[in-house]
Amino acid sequence: MKSLRQIRFLCGKDLRIELRKKESLVSMAFFGVLILVMLNIANGVGKQIDAEAGAGILWVAILFSSVLGLGRVFAREKENGCVAALLISPVSSGEIFVAKALVNFSLMLLAELVLVPIFFVLFGARLSGDPLALLPILVLVNFGFSTTGTLVSAISAGTRRNEVLLPILLFPLLLPLMTLAVKATALALAAKPLADLRGQLEPMAAFCVVFAAAGYLLFPFVLRED
Amino acid sequence: MSEPSSFLRISGLRKSYGSREALRGINLDLQRGEFLCLFGPNGAGKSTLLKIVATLLRPSAGQVKVQDYDLEEHPEQYRAQLGMVSHQSFVYQDLSVLENLEFYATLYGVEQPREKALELLEEVKLADRYDMLAANLSRGMQQRLTIARALVNDPALLLLDEPYTGLDEHAASVLRDQLQILHSRKRTIVMVTHNLRRGMESATRLGILVRGELVYLQQKADVDPTTFEHLYFRHLEAQ
């Protein structure tokens, strides 16, 4: 109970700052839309795309825009040494990890609420799939991305080249998850039933569990100096 | 009569970074209500020592106990007694003065966090700025907010790492007054600083740390300030 309370306060603080400043959310959504528009122009406006290409386009936009928000959430803790104040307090490193991962998950979800409809407006004319069929894939990718990303952003936030280091460290780790996500999305965009996606969704869920556990266990070592 | 047990006990504390030894077997006992000021040149290990006591850094060897709670065995009870003021403010720039204190008070499980925050703002004379964003405060005001933040859990042990850094004379004298009030309330304080004058005017005990060793430790009442100054500079030159 106490842990849940602490996680709620930590999340509440981050979301309050984010809703006040809107810096992560606006930059994530704007950058994602920009990528979609550029790819739409590069493909030829109004031209037909198949489900595989559409899946790739959607995840490129989500992945690159999400990295912007991810770096910011932890960098805020490093400003003025706030992370040290948290470590001295009775909050455990695990509670900080869960709270940060939840904030990253929420920011991704909010950005996707903008990006997915715009993707369907720009590319969806020939795609037969239902946008709602993407929901389980989005949830799993957000989960894997936010847990892995929270750990990696804690590592990179202490460096001078945070913005460069974060995607360089994160993207290779996410490669298996993203490969499965693109395949599952292609099937969903081609209006395949949910049962056909099980081959992708199950390993994606396994990936999420492994990376969430690894992130939770490794986080204290990343936060505290040795 | 038996001797009173130590409030802060550091024994055989060592810290190494590879082959470089930052702390070489520090032993220190402080009674409740003592105010220790540790001086030392850059790289002497002052901040390392404070970081270990604050649980921000793991020691390579040795033991730290606050009121018989061991840092390794009872980290939660140990941390509950700590407050820290550093040259970094530990406050969120995008939260207001009141929101910052309320957030930390809530994390420490203070029963009425808003009331506690308002009470502390009165104490550090920031009550009229409660709704200002921390980013808009002057350096001196930020430092007062930092002190208020460090006191939300009513800590028995206050750690101060170069708290005078970047403060003008007025802000520094406000900080000194604040520290004297805290000391008069029987809080145990450990401060590390380069500032001889500021350190000596507040402390009850003085120490010099050189190359990771505590080479000098005395009650201030037993020390002649000029002799101490000469001694300190001799250690600096020998460094």
Cα distances (angstroms) measured from residue A203 to each of A60, A108, A140, A144, A210? 21, 21, 10, 12, 10
**Per-residue confidence (pLDDT) for residue A226, from 0 to 100:** 66
Cβ of residue B165 closer than 8 Å to a chain A Cβ: no
pLDDT in tens, B2-45: 455 788 999 999 999 888 899 999 999 999 999 999 998 888 89
Question: ipTM of this predicted complex?
Answer: 0.84
**Per-residue confidence (pLDDT) for residue A186, from 0 to 100:** 93
Location of each CATH 3.40.50.300 domain in chain B? 8-81+155-238
Q: In terms of CA atoms, which chain A residue is nearest residue B57?
A: A225
pLDDT in tens, B178-227: 888 888 888 899 999 888 888 888 899 999 999 899 998 999 888 888 88
Q: B153-183 burial, b if ≥16 CB within 10 A, otherwise e?
A: bebbbbbbbbbbeebeeebbebbbebbeebb
**Domain B8-81+155-238 sits in CATH 3.40.50.300:** yes
What is the Cα–Cα distance from B188 to B182, expressed in whole angstroms? Answer: 9
Q: Which residue has the tokens 């520090």?
A: B26
B68 token code pair: 């018989």
Best of A16, A86, A89, A93 to substitute, by most chain B Cβ atoms within 10 angstroms, is A89
Between chains, do B58 and A9 touch, taking CB under 8 Å as contact? Answer: no
Are B40 and B31 a contacting pair, CB within 8 Å?
no
Are B55 and A88 a contacting pair, CB within 8 Å?
yes
B87 token code pair: 């040259």
Chain mean position to CA A179: 15
A61 token code pair: 């936009």
B57 token code pair: 């850094």
**Per-residue confidence (pLDDT) for residue B75, from 0 to 100:** 80
What is the Cα–Cα distance from A187 to A133, expressed in whole angstroms? Answer: 10
Q: Which residue has the tokens 């460090």?
A: B150
Half-sphere exposure of A55 (CA within 13 A, CB side): 23
Of B58, B88, B109, the CB nearest to A80: B88
pLDDT in tens, A156-201: 887 777 778 899 999 999 999 999 999 999 999 988 888 889 999 9
Residue B53 above 60 pLDDT? yes
Cβ of residue A17 closer than 8 Å to a chain B Cβ: yes
Between chains, do B80 and A82 touch, taking CB under 8 Å as contact? Answer: no
Between chains, do A17 and B82 touch, taking CB under 8 Å as contact? Answer: no
Q: Which residue has the tokens 């795309």?
A: A49
What is the mean pLDDT of each successive set of 10 residues along chain A, which is 226 residues long? 89 92 89 94 84 93 92 82 89 93 95 94 79 92 96 84 86 95 93 89 96 93 78
Count the neighbouring beta carbons within 10 Å of the beta carbon of residue A113: 11
Q: What is the arithmetic mean of pLDDT over B131-159?
A: 90
Between chains, do A79 and B55 touch, taking CB under 8 Å as contact? Answer: no
What is the Cα–Cα distance from A128 to B69, expressed in whole angstroms? Answer: 65
What is the Cα–Cα distance from B64 to B79, expressed in whole angstroms? Answer: 12
What's this model's pTM, rounded to 2 decimal places? 0.87
What is the Cα–Cα distance from A25 to A31, expressed in whole angstroms? Answer: 10
pLDDT in tens, B75-131: 878 888 899 988 788 999 999 999 999 999 999 989 999 999 999 999 888 999 999
Pairing outcome for strands B188-193 and B35-39? parallel
Best of A3, A80, A223, A226 to substitute, by most chain B Cβ atoms within 10 angstroms, is A80
Q: Which residue has the tokens 């005990």?
A: B205
What is the Cα–Cα distance from B222 to B206, expressed in whole angstroms? Answer: 10
Between chains, do B86 and A91 touch, taking CB under 8 Å as contact? Answer: no
What is the Cα–Cα distance from A154 to B8, expressed in whole angstroms? Answer: 32
